[in-house]
Amino acid sequence: MTARLPVVVVISGSGTNLQAIIDGAQCDLPIEIRAVISNRPGVYGLQRAEQAGIETAILDHREYPDRESYDQALIALIDSYSPKLVALAGFMRILTADFVRHYGGRLLNIHPSLLPKYTGLHTHQRVLDAGDSLHGASIHFVTEELDGGPLIVQAQVPVEAGDDANMLAARVLQKEHQIYPLAIRWFAENRLILDENGDVRLDNKRLESPVLFTPLESIG
């Protein structure tokens, strides 16, 4: 049996991807969520963690004078739980280079677009405005480039006639809840690494492109 990988999840909001990770951990995902940390007090994601019996912590960014001092405090807090993986799940802050380097190769993020398209915010509306036929979600290792780290896995959804941003977001979110636990599983089972050259390796093979699930493919 695979040992359970210690994980810290960092959030800013309602925590739907956090819930997907919690549900996986309560089933057969071989991880131990040691803590859920939020930069915003009172968000629903903290309640999700508490309901699952997971320790929570709040580190309010408004109490720090700058990004650097906040990130140093966040590093100290995360490291107090000794995780081997840090999962950003809707953490709405741009991270400093020092933070990213500290967790190099063990920091994952989810982004609601088919990267490298549509980095940053408001991805669903931007897809609609561009008239794209496909949208989706991406899991990547975090590097110093915003939403630009090496890609691991993506899932596509069709853009349907009559979609608005909320409808499209809901469809993408369903895929997010599937691919994030999958990537975490690969990492926990030592199948997924970021090598010394900055390349993603899955099952000892360098990924030339991310694992891609088309709209008709089941994920898992």
State the CATH number of the domain containing residue 200.
3.40.50.170
**Using 50, 70 and 90 to split pLDDT, how confident is the model at 146?**
confident
- For residue 128, pLDDT beyond 70: yes
Share of the chain above pLDDT 70, in %: 99
Q: Of 61, 102, 111, 140, which one is the catalytic site residue?
A: 111
Question: Is residue 67 in a domain?
Answer: yes
Question: Is residue 219 in a domain?
Answer: no
Question: Is residue 160 in a domain?
Answer: yes
Q: What is the pLDDT of residue 2?
A: 56
What is the distance between the alpha carbons of residues 124 and 56, in angstroms, rounded to a whole number?
Answer: 30
Q: What is the pLDDT of residue 98?
A: 97
Domain count, the chain: 1
Helix (H) or strand (E) holding 102: helix 97-102
Question: Is residue 36 in a domain?
Answer: yes
* Domain with 158 in it: 5-213
Query: For residue range 109-124, what is the model confidence (pLDDT) as tens digits?
Result: 999 999 999 999 999 9
Q: Average pLDDT for residues 171-190, to the nearest whole number?
A: 98
Report the chain's mean pLDDT, rounded to a whole number: 96
Question: Is residue 218 in a domain?
Answer: no
Question: Is residue 70 in a domain?
Answer: yes
Question: Is residue 147 in a domain?
Answer: yes
Maximum separation of any 2 CA atoms in the chain, in Å: 49
Q: Is 111 a catalytic residue?
A: yes
Q: What is the pLDDT of residue 3?
A: 80
Q: Contact 21/180 with Cβ under 8 angstroms? A: yes
Question: Is residue 187 in a domain?
Answer: yes
